[in-house]
Amino acid sequence: MEEKKKTWKELPEGDILEGGTSLQFKTGNWRSERPVHIPEKCIHCFICWISCPDGAVKVDEENGKFVGFDYDFCKGCGICAYECPKDAIKMVPETGEEK
Amino acid sequence: MKGTGRRVAKTANEAFAEAMRQIDPDVVAAYPITPATEIVQIFSQFVADGLVKTEFVAVESEHSAMSACIGASISGARAMTGTSSQGLALMWEMLYIAAALRLPIIMAVVNRALSAPINIHCDHSDTLGARDSGWIQIYSENVQETYDNVIQAVRIAEHPDVRLPVMVTTDGFILSHCLETIEMLTDEEVKEFIGEPPVRENLLKSLEENKPITIGALDLQDYYFEHKRQEAEAMKNALKVIPEIGKEFGEKFGRSYGFFEEYKLEDATVGIVVMGSTAGTGKDVVDELRKEGKKVGLLKIRVFRPFPFEEISKALSHLQVVGVMDRADGVNSYSGPVFPEICACLYDLEKRPKIVDFIYGLGGRDIRKEDIAGIFDGLLKIAETGKKEFNLKYIGVRE
Ligand code: SF4
Ligand code: SF4
């Protein structure tokens, strides 16, 4: 069903929104390549996590473990793969199929 | 009731600064530029002397000046600035943002020609270039109007149905640096007239409920248009609010203001449309020609944005010939910027006047009474013969 969008009379004035609305804007489909994790090589240094411009690397802070990528928001820029000191991330062409 | 009437000699720059002192805005962010420098220079002295509680931000450019005003205004502060010409040009992208975010910022603009060639004197190319930026534009004929317009601008900008930024203009050097005796309101009268800035509920809610807000977020195909439509409506609402406030100002202080002033226009056969200080010279010429029995009149535009389309159309509808005096060139092969707007508002009239454009006074070139008398003679000739031999004439340029 199509989302009911607000008319100009209903919208809050002057483009003022509650914070954090970018969570509703899934940018993952902009991706042409996706990062794929190679767990055997990973040393859980979190360099990918700190380098990702989109906050799309998920980590388990308590246990200090790399968890995975948030493909809803990962734009496939490849920075994580470039920065990873252990080549534990490879970029593969996006096929459009969910993995 | 009339104001207590303190008569003082002030230049328009001094009048701007005095009005700012009386308004006592929360934030002033500005960068100096001739001929507007004095406004904030004088005002910064008021800050140093403790006469205002304003946070004065001496920024590094006009782009930053407008950005700082936007930030201040978003947080609910009353923000003001002043500039001219290149300074206004450097603010360009922020002008649109201030208006679209519906921020009631007040800006004093001293009209000055845009470069190149570099020039510091008056024409209206700077503010007329910003005509579609979403700012309300109020032009002043003399120092008194400059002063009165700034005070009213605060109320117009902050009106809940409007909430748009306002630029009040004055003619560079012709007014900005020339002394005139004006009647100033007392500090208390100004305070009472402008009142406290209305609270913006959405900002307050955010603070009270400790809920962060995003302002000016990405707004693509599905919402941008609706926000622009809101802005357009606000500008339309200003058409209602501006004369109300001009009338209230008149009732309190004896000087009423509308969208424009009609000078001996009612029974005229030909008339000119002017903005700024040239209106004063034009009125003298009208008086002289009237003595010779010539039916001439003048319409001085005070409010150019919003454009009082229907009102101007009505005021000019009975004329046989209209001459628009444009103190800027559209560099478009046919006219200055004011001409097409006047044409547009006359177009649907059953019996529409003939209309011609005169570009004059670029870069501060003097406009003399003889020049304006010549314009009127040209209009009278068209009225007499019914023939228009030109659409556009340059006045005062060496041919
Ligand atoms: S940068 Fe490489 S090694 Fe470090 S956590 Fe990320 S994937 Fe693992
Ligand atoms: S490809 Fe880019 S956006 Fe995606 S996880 Fe790596 S760094 Fe982040």
- Summarised one tens digit per residue, pLDDT across range B149-178 is 999 999 999 999 999 999 999 999 999 999
pTM to 2 decimal places: 0.90
Distant-in-sequence contacts of B292-296, Cβ < 8 A, 24+ apart: B294/B376, B294/B380, B295/B267, B295/B268, B295/B269, B295/B270, B296/B264, B296/B268, B296/B269, B296/B270, B296/B271, B296/B272, B296/B376, B296/B379, B296/B380
pLDDT tens by residue, B247-277? 999 999 999 999 999 999 999 999 999 999 9
B7-253 folds as Rossmann fold (3.40.50)
In this structure, the residue with its CA closest to atom 3 of ligand 2 is A74
Task: Inspect the interface and report whether the beta carbons of B219 and A19 lie closer than 8 Å.
Answer: no
Q: Does A21 touch chain B (CB under 8 A)?
A: yes
Ligand 2 neighbour A88 (Cβ under 6 A): no
Q: Which residues of A touch B163 (CB under 8 A)?
A: 13-14
pLDDT band at A16 (very low <50, low <70, confident <90, very high): confident
| Range scoring the smallest mean pLDDT among B133-142, B191-200, B212-221 | B212-221
**Which chain B residue lies closest to A21 (C-alpha atoms)?**
B214
B7-253 and B260-395: identical CATH topology: yes
Ligand 2 neighbour A45 (Cβ under 6 A): no
Answer yes or no: is pLDDT of A20 > 50. yes
Task: Inspect the interface and report whether the beta carbons of B163 and A13 lie closer than 8 Å.
Answer: yes
In this structure, the residue with its CA closest to atom 8 of ligand 1 is A42
pLDDT band at B306 (very low <50, low <70, confident <90, very high): very high
Could you tell me how many CB contacts below 8 A there are between chain A and chain B? 60
| B255 dihedral zone (left: phi>0; alpha: psi -120 to 50; beta) | beta
pLDDT at B52: 98
Answer yes or no: is pLDDT of B4 > 60. no
Distance from CA of A19 to the nearest CA of B (A): 4
Distance from CA of A28 to the nearest CA of B (A): 17
pLDDT at B212: 83
The percentage of chain B sitting over the pLDDT mark of 90, rounded to a whole number, equals 91
pLDDT at A96: 61
CATH pick for B260-395 out of 2.60.120.10, 1.10.490.10, 3.40.50.720, 3.40.50.920: 3.40.50.920
Average pLDDT of span B127-151: 98
pLDDT at B216: 86
Answer yes or no: is pLDDT of A2 > 80. no
For residue B252 the two structure tokens come to 């309190």
Ligand 2 neighbour A56 (Cβ under 6 A): yes
Q: Which amino acid is at B316?
A: L
Ligand 2 neighbour A89 (Cβ under 6 A): no
pLDDT at B5: 64
Task: Check: CB of residue B195 under 8 Å from CB of residue B78.
Answer: no
Task: Check: CB of residue B164 under 8 Å from CB of residue B104.
Answer: yes
> In whole angstroms, what is the distance from residue B278 CA to residue B396 CA?
14
Q: Is the dihedral of CA B26, B30, B36, B40 positive or negative?
A: positive
Task: Inspect the interface and report whether the beta carbons of A11 and B217 lie closer than 8 Å.
Answer: no
Q: Which amino acid is at B281?
A: T
Q: How far is the CA of A35 from the centre of ligand 2 (A)?
A: 7
Residue extents of the structural domains in chain B: 7-253, 260-395
Q: Indicate the DSSP class of residue A97.
A: S
Task: Inspect the interface and report whether the beta carbons of A16 and B229 lie closer than 8 Å.
Answer: no
Helices within A1-99 (DSSP H only): 47-51, 79-83
Task: Inspect the interface and report whether the beta carbons of B223 and A5 lie closer than 8 Å.
Answer: yes
ipTM greater than 0.90: no
* B282 or B212, higher pLDDT: B282
Mutation site, A6, A16, A22, interface B, largest B CB count within 10 A: A16
Q: Which of B242, B260, B388, B265 is nearest to B319 (CA)?
A: B265
Burial of B74 (C-beta count, 10 Å sphere; 0-12/13-18/19+): buried
The percentage of chain B sitting over the pLDDT mark of 70, rounded to a whole number, equals 99
Average pLDDT of span B13-39: 98
Q: How far is the CA of B86 from the centre of ligand 2 (A)?
A: 42
> In whole angstroms, what is the distance from residue B143 CA to residue A7 CA?
44
| Range scoring the smallest mean pLDDT among B199-203, B304-308, B375-379 | B199-203
Torsion, Cα of B56, B59, B62, B65 (10° steps):
-50
Q: Which amino acid is at A48?
A: C
Give the bridge partners for A66, in sequence order.
A59
For residue A37 the two structure tokens come to 């994790």
The percentage of chain A sitting over the pLDDT mark of 90, rounded to a whole number, equals 75
Testing ligand 1's pocket by substitution, the residue of A47, A49, A63, A91 carrying the most ligand atoms inside 8 A of its CB is A47
Residue A57 to residues A26, A48, A70: CA-CA distances in angstroms?
A: 15, 7, 6
| Range scoring the smallest mean pLDDT among B75-79, B235-239, B333-337 | B75-79
Q: Which residues of B touch A16 (CB under 8 A)?
A: 101, 202, 213-215
Answer yes or no: is pLDDT of B1 > 50. no
Answer yes or no: is pLDDT of A46 > 80. yes
* B215 or B323, higher pLDDT: B323
Distant-in-sequence contacts of B341-345, Cβ < 8 A, 24+ apart: B341/B307, B342/B273, B342/B312, B342/B316, B344/B309, B345/B307, B345/B309, B345/B310, B345/B312, B345/B313, B345/B316
Q: How far is the CA of A37 from the centre of ligand 1 (A)?
A: 8
Q: Which amino acid is at B23?
A: I
DSSP codes joined into one string, B59-104: -SSHHHHHHHHHHHHHTT--EEEEE-HHHHHHTHHHHHHHHHTT--
| Number of the ligand closest to the Cα of A85 | 1
Of B102, B223, B225, the CB nearest to A14: B102
Task: Check: CB of residue B396 under 8 Å from CB of residue B366.
Answer: yes
Q: Which amino acid is at B125?
A: S
Task: Inspect the interface and report whether the beta carbons of A19 and B215 lie closer than 8 Å.
Answer: no
